[in-house]
């Protein structure tokens, strides 16, 4: 047995949720048998069960553990060192430290009770949730483990080779959301080693233990070299907590040992990097905030854009698995549906995150059935398609959102935005980084744009840039003022050089509080009158942006690429590339005049590409300056000269007639094609309907098969118990050397012991024969009558009866009572008292 760990003094009990299906009884017993009686944890067990079958799981599991095993009930408080088992035909969730039960909303075959419990734990406990997937068919538990993993909780799966049915463990492992894969008997040891974190020494001034400062720096450098992402501006407490979890998984005691482990196992760097990325999110999280956005901020935003061509633009920073991006899309759809069609501006949402895995989930748009607790039924029906594995965002909402991997710390932002949502991301960054991001968000938004922050986040000292909707909210209007138009500095993602350090000096000088009057005046003039401009290196990588360049440049969707050749608008991209190449080659400025940005925008601009020859720090770069110009007056059309030849006119008429005839033929062909297409569409719908019915039937059959497997396991266990009890009883009866006869209510033979041969001549074939037909040596003609009287009065009788050969027996007749106190026959015992009678006779004669 494992040693007992120290008791947890946390406010909430830490919960281990165990999910199993077919073949799950044995691993559950193996798991609980190895749990210390005072582990400080609570255990919730969910198994696929037949909803019409009385559960025996609690009784079976109680045999393997000294902890109390209880069937879960509604509003039952969860206590440590106890096991709670889901009842049949129920879904189990946890809220405020208590159990909540609900009738499943989905038909058999589509129920995912393990996902429901795991997702509930993820919401309730966050990084304190623990999920375990054991033997079973299907994929129940995979989405729930992903939810726990995204919250920073611990996820465990049974080693597939040890599972009777390995589909569930394999599904979870293939999804990449499992921390520990092991045998059920070793799971408690692994869980407890991770749960009870190692003690730390007193932290230094920087928040890091003196012994851990150097190893932490080494770990962050290894992560930076491996992932190309710098995590040094994350809060130290967050970094240490995530590192501790990975150390506990590998049972490493010191960070120095973990550094060595990382160097020897590069694949662990991937796992540690994923561990660092916090993905706490849900649909319509903090519902009042979204309602305020819909009621108080979207209407003015739409009013300002009325009559303006184009679309509204939004950016969801740190979108994780996409819930908030899709929430914004659904909310906007609801907000504009009452407007006339001509006033319904489209909304383009850019959703970005550092995690490639999270972006993949967001793009798929498939979420577990447990989101029904966050999304109202009306929205579920309108914006989602129900699938066997959860809910799929419908195509209309998915088309509004574009997902991309993006590092908000290093990569330049999206611009010309109307809405910017960055909720509960900055709380993981240090104060310096938070102060850098708020001005960056101001730069990204259009005047009057909307900023959404998390409940624990504010704009800090940037009150001059943003105005709150009301004092308690985290919704802000962008204020258009001087500080917003400062030059924004971005690192070059592909070729970081010493030039970046050189270029920071002028900006720092402009921002210093001790600047002289001339510097301040120069800064004001630069902000007021300088045109939008971009500083690029010889490869076209953007190093500086001056002014509002969003009209001319835009980050492309997909992986971040901040190169001028990619960011330039389509109408100017080709000419700008040629001009940049020419200017750098000839070391002379190149002018481009009268360029149209794109086909949809009538704006005409001039561009100047100025190569920079000095100072030496930025020599070899180029400054690209954009200037808006008044659209040129269209030139008058020149009248055609000459007379059209008559023959040419006749040819033109014939050609037009041929074209008209071809159009008619094409129209007829299109109509025929349309009819054929409609027929195919009808056939396709019928086939799809039949396929859905077959899929539903298959899922129901699979669910029933899993339930039958579970019931079969429980019944087999009970049968083993009954066989053992019968063997015990048979051995007991044989050992007491008393002839015993069992009768049913009809006074037919049901069972007898071997010693009955001294009274009745019985064989196995006599089972079922009436008592009245049995041949006996007893001189006891009223035996049949006495047995009936006992069954009538339920009182036992006892008589001393002799046999024809002179033996004496004490005959006792008793009712046969079941455990339910039901009379099901009689029991007659025959005790040989011949020796006692003979002794009594001799004593009497003396």
Q: Is 224 a catalytic residue?
A: no
Where in the chain are the domains? Answer: 14-187, 213-276, 287-485, 488-507+526-629, 733-845
Interval 187-218: pLDDT, tens? 998 888 877 655 444 444 345 555 667 888 88
Distance CA 83, CA 80 (A): 9
pLDDT at 9: 36
Tell me whether domains 14-187 and 287-485 share a fold. Answer: yes
Residues 453-504 have pLDDT tens digits of 988 888 877 788 888 887 777 899 998 764 444 444 444 443 333 333 333 3
Say if strands 347-353 and 401-405 run parallel, antiparallel, or are unpaired.
parallel
541 confidence band (pLDDT: 50, 70, 90) = confident
Return the pLDDT at 773. Answer: 86
Interval 434-463 mean pLDDT: 87
Catalytic residue among 50, 81, 115, 140: 140
Percent of the chain with pLDDT over 90: 22
Contact in structure between 377 and 430 (CB atoms under 8 Å): no
pLDDT surpasses 80 at 572:
yes
Structure tokens that stand for 75 in this block: 């509003």
pLDDT at 737: 75
Q: Is the pLDDT of residue 573 over 70?
A: yes
Residue 252 — very low, low, confident or very high, per pLDDT cuts 50/70/90?
Answer: confident
| Percentage, residues of the chain above pLDDT 70 | 81
CB 318 within 8 A of CB 351: no
pLDDT of residue 508: 37
Q: What is the pTM of this model?
A: 0.55
Q: What is the mean pLDDT of residues 696-703?
A: 62
Residue tagged active-site, from 21, 193, 282, 717? 21
Which tokens belong to 304?
Answer: 């300002």
Q: What is the mean pLDDT of residues 237-242?
A: 81
Helix (H, G, I), strand (E, B) or coil at 99: strand
CATH superfamily of 488-507+526-629: PAS domain (3.30.450.20)
Instruction: Tell the residue number behind the tokens 């008058």, with chain if given.
Output: 636
Q: Any catalytic annotation for residue 628?
A: no
Q: Which residue has the higher pLDDT, 161 or 735?
A: 161
pLDDT for residue 80: 92
Rounded distance between C-alpha atoms, residue 846 and residue 844, angstroms: 5
What confidence score (pLDDT) does residue 347 get?
92
Q: Read off φ and ψ for residue 784, nearest 5 degrees.
A: -60, -40
CB 134 within 8 A of CB 169: yes
Q: What mean pLDDT comes out for the span 251-259?
A: 84
Tokens 């019409």 locate to 52
pLDDT recorded at residue 184:
93
What's the whole-number average pLDDT of the chain?
80
Sheet holding 533-536, edge to edge: 488-489, 542-546, 533-536, 622-629, 601-611, 590-598
- CB count within 10 Å of CB 338 equals 8
Q: Which listed CATH number (3.30.300.30, 3.30.450.20, 3.90.1150.10, 3.30.70.141) goes with 733-845?
A: 3.30.450.20
Per the DSSP assignment, residues forming a β-bridge with 626 are 607
Q: How many CB atoms lie within 10 A of CB 412?
A: 23
| Entry field: residues in the chain | 846
Which pLDDT band holds residue 513 (cuts at 50, 70, 90)?
very low
According to the 3-state scheme, what is the secondary structure of 47-59?
A: ECCCCCCCCCHHH
Mean pLDDT of 690-718: 66
Q: What local confidence, expressed as pLDDT, does residue 2 receive?
A: 45
Rounded to whole angstroms, the Cα distance separating 250 from 741 reads 64
Positive or negative, the CA dihedral 27, 29, 30, 36 is positive
Tokens linked to 198: 């190692």
User: Could you tell me the CATH superfamily of domain 14-187?
Assistant: Methylesterase CheB, C-terminal domain (3.40.50.180)
The predicted-structure confidence for 718-756, as pLDDT tens digits, reads as follows 777 777 777 777 777 666 778 899 999 899 999 888 888
* Active-site residue (options: 48, 50, 374, 442): 48
Q: What is the DSSP letter of 778?
A: B
> Per CATH, is 287-485 categorized as 3.40.50.300?
no
Going by their DSSP bridges, the two strands 366-367 and 390-393 should be labelled as antiparallel
Q: Is 21 a residue of the active site?
A: yes
Q: Assign domain 213-276 one CATH number from 1.10.155, 1.20.120, 3.40.50, 1.25.10.
A: 1.10.155
How far apart are the C-alpha atoms of 518 and 188, rounded to whole Å? 70
Q: Burial code of 294-319, b = ≥16 C-beta within 10 A, e = fewer? A: eeebbeebbeebeeeeeebbbbbbbb
Q: List the end-to-end C-alpha distance of the chain, in Å, as a whole number.
A: 68
Distance CA 233, CA 231 (A): 5
Helix (H, G, I), strand (E, B) or coil at 674: helix
Report the pLDDT value the prediction gives residue 158, as an integer from 0 to 100.
Answer: 94
More confident residue, 373 or 428: 428
Report the alpha-carbon distance of residue 328 to residue 418 in Å, rounded: 13
Q: Please name the residues in contact with 657: beta carbons below 8 A apart, sequence gap of 6 or more.
A: none
pLDDT at 649: 60
Give the pLDDT of residue 363.
92
In angstroms, the Cα distances linking 66 to 33, 34, 129, 398 are 9, 11, 24, 51
Beta bridge partner(s), residue 598: 601
**What is the helix (H) or strand (E) element at residue 447, kind and residue range?**
strand 445-453
The closest alpha carbon to 333, from 397, 392, 289, 391, belongs to 397
- Please state, in angstroms and rounded to a whole number, the distance separating the CA atoms of residues 606 and 30: 76
Whether the pLDDT of residue 309 is over 60: the answer is: yes
Average pLDDT over residues 684-707: 66
- Model confidence band, residue 707 (pLDDT cutoffs 50, 70, 90): low
The average pLDDT across 160-184 equals 87
């Amino acid at each position: 047995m494992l040693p007992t760990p120290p008791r947890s003094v946390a406010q909430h009990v830490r919960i281990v949720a165990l999910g199993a299906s077919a073949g799950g009884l044995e691993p559950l017993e193996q798991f609980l048998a190895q749990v210390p009686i005072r582990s400080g944890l609570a255990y919730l067990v969910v198994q696929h069960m037949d909803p019409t079958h009385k559960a025996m799981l609690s009784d079976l599991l109680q045999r393997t553990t000294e902890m109390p095993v209880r069937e879960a009930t509604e509003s039952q408080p969860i206590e440590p060192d106890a096991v709670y088992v889901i009842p049949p035909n129920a879904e189990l969730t946890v809220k405020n430290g208590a159990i909540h039960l609900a009738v499943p909303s989905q038909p058999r075959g589509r129920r995912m009770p393990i996902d429901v419990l795991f997702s509930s734990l993820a919401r309730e406990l966050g990084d304190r949730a623990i999920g375990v997937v054991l033997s079973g068919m299907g994929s129940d538990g995979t989405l729930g483990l992903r939810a726990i993993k995204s919250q920073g909780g611990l996820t465990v799966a049974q080693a597939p080779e040890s599972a009777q049915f390995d589909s569930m463990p394999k599904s979870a492992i293939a999804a990449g959301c499992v921390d520990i894969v092991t045998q059920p008997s070793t799971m408690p040891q692994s869980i407890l080693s991770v749960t009870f974190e190692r003690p730390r020494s007193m932290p230094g001034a920087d928040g890091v233990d003196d012994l851990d400062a150097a190893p932490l720096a080494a770990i962050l450098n290894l992560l930076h070299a491996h992932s190309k992402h710098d995590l040094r501006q994350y809060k130290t407490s967050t970094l240490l907590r995530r590192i501790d979890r990975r150390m506990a998984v590998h049972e490493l005691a010191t960070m120095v040992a973990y550094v060595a482990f990382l160097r020897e196992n590069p694949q662990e760097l991937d796992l540690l990097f994923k561990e660092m990325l916090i993905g706490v999110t849900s649909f319509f999280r903090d519902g009042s905030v979204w309602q305020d956005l819909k009621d108080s901020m979207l209407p003015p935003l739409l009013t300002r854009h009325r009559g303006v061509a184009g679309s509204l633009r939004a950016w969801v920073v740190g979108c994780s698995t996409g819930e908030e991006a899709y929430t914004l899309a659904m909310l906007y759809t609801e907000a504009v549906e009452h407007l006339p069609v001509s006033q319904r501006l489209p909304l383009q949402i850019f959703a970005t995150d550092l995690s490639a895995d999270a972006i993949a989930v967001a793009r798929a748009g498939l979420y577990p059935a447990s989101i029904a607790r966050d999304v109202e039924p009306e929205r579920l029906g309108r914006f989602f398609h129900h699938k066997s594995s959860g809910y799929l965002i419908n195509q209309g909402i998915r088309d509004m959102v574009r997902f991309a991997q993006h590092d908000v710390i290093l990569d330049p932002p999206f611009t010309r935005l109307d809405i910017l949502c960055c909720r509960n991301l900055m709380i993981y960054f240090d104060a310096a980084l938070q102060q850098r991001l708020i001005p960056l968000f101001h730069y990204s938004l259009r005047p009057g744009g909307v900023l959404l922050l998390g409940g624990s986040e504010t704009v800090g000292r940037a009150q001059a840039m943003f105005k709150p909707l009301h004092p308690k909210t985290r919704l802000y209007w962008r204020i258009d003022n001087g500080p917003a138009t400062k030059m924004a500095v971005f690192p070059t993602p592909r070729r970081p050089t010493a030039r970046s350090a050189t270029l920071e000096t002028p900006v720092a000088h402009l921002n210093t509080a001790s600047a002289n009057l001339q510097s301040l005046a120069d800064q004001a003039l630069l902000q007021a009158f300088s045109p939008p401009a971009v500083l690029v290196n010889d490869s076209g990588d953007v190093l500086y942006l001056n002014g509002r360049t969003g009209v001319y440049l835009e980050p492309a969707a997909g992986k971040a690429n901040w190169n001028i050749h990619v960011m330039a608008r389509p109408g100017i991209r080709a000419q700008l590339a040629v001009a940049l190449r020419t200017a750098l080659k000839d070391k002379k400025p190149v002018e481009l005049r009268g360029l149209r940005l794109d086909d949809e925008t009538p704006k005409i601009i001039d561009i100047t590409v100025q190569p920079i020859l000095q100072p030496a720090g930025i020599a070899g770069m180029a400054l690209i300056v954009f200037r808006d110009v008044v659209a040129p007056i269209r030139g008058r059309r020149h009248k055609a000269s000459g007379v059209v030849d008559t023959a040419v006119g006749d040819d033109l008429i014939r050609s037009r007639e041929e074209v008209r005839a071809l159009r008619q033929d094409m129209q007829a062909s299109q109509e025929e094609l349309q009819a054929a297409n409609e027929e195919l569409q009808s056939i396709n719908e019928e086939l799809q309907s039949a396929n859905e019915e077959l899929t539903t039937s298959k899922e129901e059959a699979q669910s029933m098969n899993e339930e039958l497997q579970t019931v079969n396991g429980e019944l087999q266990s009970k049968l083993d118990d009954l066989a053992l009890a019968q063997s015990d009883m048979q051995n007991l009866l044989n050992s007491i050397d008393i002839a015993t006869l069992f009768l049913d209510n009809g006074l037919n033979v049901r069972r007898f012991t071997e010693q009955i041969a001294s009274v009745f001549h019985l064989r196995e074939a006599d089972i079922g024969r009436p008592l009245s037909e049995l041949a006996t040596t007893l001189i006891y003609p009223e035996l049949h009558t006495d047995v009936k009287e006992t069954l009538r009065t339920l009182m036992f009788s006892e008589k001393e009866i002799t046999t024809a050969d002179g033996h004496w027996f004490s005959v006792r007749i008793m009712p046969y009572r079941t455990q339910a106190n039901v009379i099901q026959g009689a029991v007659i015992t025959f005790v040989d008292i011949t020796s006692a009678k003979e002794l009594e006779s001799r004593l009497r004669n003396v």
